[in-house]
């Protein structure tokens, strides 16, 4: 094994990759910009949209209620909605989003309230439309208050205490330390993100260094040099591994920074709502946890790099390689997303499933739980899978029917 | 020196089954000579040369390049070999200098030897003007010069040219042809494949006509003319191929 030759190939591939705009975008720009865009940008956008919708005074319609002036007047004086004249085409107008919601007040509603008779109010909304749901919510809240007031009035008239209706209160409190809560949040999201970024970081260079070289005609050039195919593929593999790990590290750093930024941005509004929601947003990542997770991610990155090189080498062109590799993303996303599914617990059998095991164990580590025997099994099995993938890549480079596939 | 002994290559094709691309091809070329492999497209020239360059492993038979066996000692064979074809492209994102140095390092040249050799080659090929330009920004002529520098950087004893002028303009093709002559003058063993008769007439000391994977005849231009009673190499080629039962291209 000539480390010198591997080093020469690696340095050349690194120079080449650093000058390639597409590699730079997939390795550096995507993780740095995409994560803040997803967390701060998208989160901020959604939050501002919700705030705007809540502040808006939506147009609503009152259907019926001519014989219930008290309720109609109260509705008309609601500052959070704007009552427009009633018409029969209210459903069409809600669908067309000209109208946000409508409420049908049954005949003799005011009288029913006064005489302890049952009545049914109907609220019409466009489900899944946020603005319509908010308008419907405002109407519902009005009628809930009205119902509460009516109950209190009726109870008072009968000299019955309100405590009869609410014999006791239930209060739920979180006793988990804030870092465990934030760890659970980070633990669910981080493994998915890191595994996905390892894959996307390796994908482009793996294609470029194999099918891309075949397409550009440089594969034959390099194979006529003295370097052995094993040294060549290891040099290329190390470059793919570098981009894979760089992308993952940048994604984690970027996520940590964005979480800090998001926490600062949203602290005020969350604190105003009370509770320790603001504290929960602060993602507490400990150096030890990160180190162990990094060690577990390493064989996964090796697995991706080797497997992607082997698969992409089989393709004749860049496009063909993309068509082989794109469906693989689903195969990776499915086990990676396991960390976000509640109730999926790590056990010895799952510890042998590549990617899934790393995803699950990383989640546990971020919440401060270390099952060392399972961590050992996962690391060892991942190393075996990684070695198989690397061997496949080396083997593919020695197959002339693959290298010169026409 | 280069020697092919009953070189045979069989490819497995899903539709056609076993395809004998090269069948028992034997020839020899000594230092200071140019051996031309003349054949139509698909005759087996590239497969033969790829086996000599250790890119493909022979199914049977063997070959030596500068005394090294292409199967048992492929790296040593390549260390003494320069391979140039229109399929051997340049790394577009490297400069001409980086490209040539990369191959020099892979051939194990020490840095001082590499620098001296690169300066000498760049001066001889008039490459200094564009040596720091990226290969994807070079003209076709500049690219060919860079490729020539790449195959010469380790000063190999054997040179293999696989249809090196295909698709090139007249001026660039002339650069290649004069470079091949220069290789002979410097005592290198040269194997040259082409389907252009005039190039073979101008350059080759010995010519082998290959068709359907078989080497049908070989000899000096004079010997081939006398043997087939034809003055023109093209007529000799047509005669040989027709006699073998194939359609001339």
Q: What are the pLDDT digits (tens) for A292-305?
A: 888 888 999 999 99
Integer CA distances (angstroms), A6 to A168, B75, B92, in order? 74, 15, 21
Contact B180, B38 (CB under 8 A): no
Give the global pTM: 0.79
- In this prediction, residues B204-230 reach a mean pLDDT of 93
Q: Is the pLDDT of residue A391 over 90?
A: yes
Higher-scoring residue by pLDDT: A176, A207: A207
Packing angle of the helix pair B111-124, B96-106 (nearest 10 deg): 130
User: Which chain A residue shows the shortest CA-CA distance from B147?
Assistant: A221
- Within 8 A of A217 by CB-CB distance, chain B residues are 87-89
Confidence (pLDDT) at A406: 67
Q: Is the pLDDT of residue A275 over 50?
A: no
Confidence (pLDDT) at B246: 62
Name the average pLDDT for chain A: 85
What are the tens digits of pLDDT across the range A76-108? 999 989 999 999 999 999 999 889 999 999 999
Residue B74 burial (C-beta neighbours within 10 Å; 0-12, 13-18, 19+): buried
What are the tens digits of pLDDT across the range B28-56? 999 999 999 999 888 999 999 999 999 99
Name the phi and psi angles at A253, rounded to 5: -60, -45
- In this prediction, residues A305-324 reach a mean pLDDT of 93
Assigned token pair, B220: 């000096």
Name the phi and psi angles at A231, rounded to 5: -65, -40
Asked if A216 is an interface residue toward chain B (Cβ–Cβ < 8 A), one would say yes
- In this prediction, residues B136-158 reach a mean pLDDT of 92
pLDDT band at A223 (very low <50, low <70, confident <90, very high): very high
Among B42, B49, B96, B102, the strongest candidate for a mutation testing the A interface, having the largest count of A CBs within 10 A, is B102
- In this prediction, residues B149-177 reach a mean pLDDT of 88
Confidence (pLDDT) at A39: 66
CB contact under 8 A, A16 and B93: yes
Confidence (pLDDT) at A163: 81
Confidence (pLDDT) at A185: 65
Q: Is B6 helix (H, G, I), strand (E, B) or coil?
A: strand
Percent of chain B beyond pLDDT 90?
72
pLDDT band at A184 (very low <50, low <70, confident <90, very high): low
Cβ under 8 Å to B: A residues 9-28 = 9, 12, 15-16, 19-20
Confidence (pLDDT) at A178: 62
* 3-state helix, strand and coil shares in percent for chain B, rounded to the nearest 5: 40, 25, 35
Confidence (pLDDT) at A279: 46
Confidence (pLDDT) at A145: 93
- In this prediction, residues A264-274 reach a mean pLDDT of 57
Q: What ipTM was assigned to the predicted interfaces of this complex? A: 0.91
Assigned token pair, B120: 């000498």
Contact A382, A296 (CB under 8 A): yes
User: Which chain B residue shows the shortest CA-CA distance from A212?
Assistant: B91
Exposure string for B14-49, b = 16+ CB within 10 A, e = fewer: eeeeeeebbbebebbbeeebbbbbbbbeebbbbbbb
Q: Is the pLDDT of residue A264 over 80?
A: no
Nearest residue, CB atoms, B106 vs list A5, A16, A20: A5
- In this prediction, residues B86-101 reach a mean pLDDT of 92
What are the tens digits of pLDDT across the range A22-75? 888 888 888 888 777 776 777 677 777 777 777 788 999 999 998 999 999 999
- Within 8 A of B83 by CB-CB distance, chain A residues are 224
Assigned token pair, A403: 């290298």
Q: Is the pLDDT of residue A276 over 70?
A: no
């Amino acid at each position: 094994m000539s480390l010198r030759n591997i080093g020469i190939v690696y340095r050349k591939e690194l120079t080449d990759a650093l000058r390639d705009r597409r590699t730079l975008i997939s390795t550096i720009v995507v993780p740095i910009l995409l994560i803040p865009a997803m967390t701060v940008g998208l989160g901020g956008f959604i939050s501002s949209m919700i705030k705007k919708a809540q502040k808006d005074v939506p147009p609503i319609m009152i259907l019926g209620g001519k014989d219930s002036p008290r309720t109609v007047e109260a509705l008309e004086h609601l500052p959070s909605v704007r009552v427009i004249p009633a018409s029969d085409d209210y459903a069409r107008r809600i669908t067309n989003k000209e109208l946000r919601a409508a409420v049908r007040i049954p005949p003799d509603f005011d009288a029913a309230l006064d005489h302890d008779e049952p009545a049914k109010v109907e609220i019409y909304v466009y489900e899944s439309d946020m603005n319509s749901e908010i308008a419907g919510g405002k109407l519902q809240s009005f009628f809930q208050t009205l119902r509460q007031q009516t109950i209190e009035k009726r109870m008072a008239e009968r000299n019955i205490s309100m405590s009869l209706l609410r014999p006791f209160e239930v209060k739920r409190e979180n006793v988990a330390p804030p870092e465990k809560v934030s760890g659970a949040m980070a633990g669910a999201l981080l493994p998915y993100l890191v595994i996905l970024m390892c894959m996307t970081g390796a994908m482009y260079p793996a294609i470029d260094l194999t099918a891309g070289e075949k397409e550009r005609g440089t594969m034959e050039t390099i194979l006529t040099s003295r370097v052995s195919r094993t040294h060549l593929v290891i040099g290329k593999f190390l470059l793919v591994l570098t981009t894979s790990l760089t992308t993952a590290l940048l994604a984690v750093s970027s996520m940590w920074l964005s979480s800090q930024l998001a926490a600062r941005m949203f602290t005020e509004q969350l604190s105003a709502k009370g509770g320790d929601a603001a504290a929960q947003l602060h993602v507490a990542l400990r150096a030890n946890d990160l180190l162990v997770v990094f060690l577990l991610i390493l064989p996964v990155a090796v697995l991706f790099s080797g497997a992607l090189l082997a698969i992409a080498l089989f393709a004749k062109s860049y496009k063909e390689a993309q068509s082989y590799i794109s469906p693989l993303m689903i195969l990776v996303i499915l086990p990676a997303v396991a960390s976000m599914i509640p109730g999926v617990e790590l056990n010895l059998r799952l510890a042998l499933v590549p990617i899934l095991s790393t995803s699950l164990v990383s989640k546990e580590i971020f919440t401060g739980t270390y099952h060392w025997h399972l961590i050992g099994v996962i690391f060892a099995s991942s190393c075996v899978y990684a070695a198989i993938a690397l061997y496949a890549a080396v083997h593919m480079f020695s197959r002339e029917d693959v290298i010169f596939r026409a | 020196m280069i020697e092919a002994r009953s070189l045979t290559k069989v490819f497995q094709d899903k539709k056609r089954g076993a395809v004998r691309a090269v069948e028992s091809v034997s020839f020899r070329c000594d230092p200071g000579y140019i051996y031309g492999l003349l054949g139509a497209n698909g005759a087996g020239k590239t497969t033969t040369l790829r086996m000599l360059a250790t890119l493909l492993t022979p199914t049977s038979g063997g070959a030596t390049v500068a005394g090294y066996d292409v199967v048992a000692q492929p790296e040593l064979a390549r260390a003494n070999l320069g391979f140039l074809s229109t399929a051997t492209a340049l790394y577009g994102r490297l400069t001409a200098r980086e490209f040539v140095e990369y191959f020099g390092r892979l051939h194990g040249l020490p840095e001082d030897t590499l620098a001296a050799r690169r300066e000498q080659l760049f001066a001889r090929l008039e490459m200094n003007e564009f040596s720091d330009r990226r290969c994807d920004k070079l003209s076709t002529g500049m690219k060919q010069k860079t490729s020539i520098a790449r195959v010469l950087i380790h000063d190999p004893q054997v040179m293999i040219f696989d249809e090196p002028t295909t698709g090139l303009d007249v001026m660039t093709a002339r650069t290649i042809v004069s470079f091949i002559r220069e290789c002979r003058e410097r005592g290198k063993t040269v194997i040259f494949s082409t389907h252009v008769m005039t190039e073979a007439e101008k350059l080759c000391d010995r010519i082998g006509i290959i068709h359907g994977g078989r080497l049908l005849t070989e000899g000096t231009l004079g010997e081939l003319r006398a043997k087939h009673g034809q003055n023109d190499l093209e007529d000799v080629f047509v005669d040989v191929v027709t006699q073998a039962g194939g359609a001339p291209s």
